Amino acid sequence: MMVQNKTFELIKRLPKAELHVHLEGSVTPEFWKHLLEKHCPLDPIPSLDELQSRFRYDSFQGFIDVYRDIIFSFRSPHDFYELTQLYLKNAVKQNIRYVEMMMTPWFIIRQGIDLDELLSEIDRAAKEIEKDSDIDLKLIFDGPRNFGKEIVQEVFNMAAKDRTGRVIGVGLGGDEKNYPALLFIDCFDYARAEGFNTIAHAGETAGAQSMLDTIKLLKVSRLGHCLGIPRASELESLVFEKGVTLDLCPLSNVATRAIASIEQHPMFEYLQRGYPITLNSDDPGMFTNSLTLEYETLLSLHAVSAEQLGQLSKNAVQGSFLNKTTKNRLITEIEQVGQDFGQ
């Protein structure tokens, strides 16, 4: 028990990177209530208990329904200033040093919010936190695949209009069963030609074939969720051959019922197989979790060594889109914490 308690302390001290987290999914019940009170003062506002009850989901679609209602609660660019600050303040407390934050601006722009103003407010919020803390925020625009190729392309076009320098990549989320990777080849070819890094959700609800097609057709650097990789399969070989980082979100998968229980999640098996996995909170406000809790959950369930925890942190840095110099600096810091911990 003493060794495990010491290892929990290591989790707090490790410099960490988070690569799979959605800005809109950082909304807590308290923040949602704040938005409703701010923008709908004359309407009956649900109680905090009522909003909290909506953050318990009976299916992936149930989660999407709540996500949609939250999106409709945003009415001004300043809302995203506040939300960015909320996430980053929590991230600093967890010793998260680098974040690649996903967001889907198409939903926001449809409500009449200007893209430049939206990004300017996110940038302003991030600069204020970065000024006083050792953390760096970048953005990845996520294309909503279930709205079709044209809308995904529109989101990627928005990424090309960024004036803040925050947007470094694009991705693909949503219904992978009915909107497979094949439909979006041209969009991803365009994104790479524009100099963007590319990622995609795959294997969250559609299994191994979805992941295989996404790597082959969309040529992504990272996959999000990645449930169901068969041992000694073509998919496993391709992950190693292409160096594809696997961004796992265990507590998210339980919350959305993608898996029945946390004990069924393959995170430890993947770690033992030597896959380049990372841990991530996905939608920390909506799932009442955090990156630190993801690490602690892994440690609580499995006999994870201090070296393996350090490797998870290094995987996130190595799988990020940081430049080589910054990667090397962070990896050196992670290794130093590990050495100090072992003394």
- Predicted pLDDT at 276: 98
Residue keyed to tokens 């709540």 = 66
Tokens of 8: 């929990």
- Predicted pLDDT at 2: 42
* pLDDT for residue 3 is more than 60: no
* pLDDT for residue 5 is more than 70: no
Q: Cβ(106)–Cβ(289) under 8 Å?
A: no
DSSP strands (E only) in the chain: 16-22, 96-103, 136-144, 167-173, 197-202, 222-225, 245-248, 277-279
- The stretch 208-217 carries a mean pLDDT of 97
Distance CA 326, CA 183 (A): 35
- The stretch 277-298 carries a mean pLDDT of 97
- Predicted pLDDT at 4: 57
Coil, helix or strand at residue 326: helix
* pLDDT for residue 343 is more than 80: no
- The stretch 103-115 carries a mean pLDDT of 95
Indicate the average pLDDT of the chain: 95
pLDDT tens, 179-194? 999 999 999 999 999 9
Q: Own/partner pairs for 165-168, CB < 8 Å, 24+ apart?
A: 166/119, 166/122, 166/123, 166/126, 166/137, 166/138, 166/139, 167/119, 167/138, 167/139, 167/140, 167/141, 167/196, 168/100, 168/138, 168/139, 168/140, 168/196, 168/197, 168/321
* pLDDT for residue 266 is more than 90: yes
Q: Given 100, 121, 176, 204, which residue is catalytic?
A: 204
- DSSP assignment string, 265-318: -THHHHHHHT--EEE--BSHHHHT--HHHHHHHHHHHS---HHHHHHHHHHHHH
- Predicted pLDDT at 42: 66
* pLDDT for residue 89 is more than 80: yes
Domains contained in the chain, CATH given = 2-342 (3.20.20.140)
pLDDT tens, 36-74? 999 987 678 899 999 999 999 988 889 999 999 999 999
* pLDDT for residue 141 is more than 50: yes
Residue 204 is among the residues annotated as catalytic for this protein? yes
* Helix-strand-coil split of the chain, %, nearest 5: 60, 15, 30
Amino acid (one-letter) located at 64 = I
Distance CA 159, CA 191 (A): 9
Tokens of 280: 């991530």
pLDDT tens, 318-330? 999 999 999 999 9
Coil, helix or strand at residue 192: helix
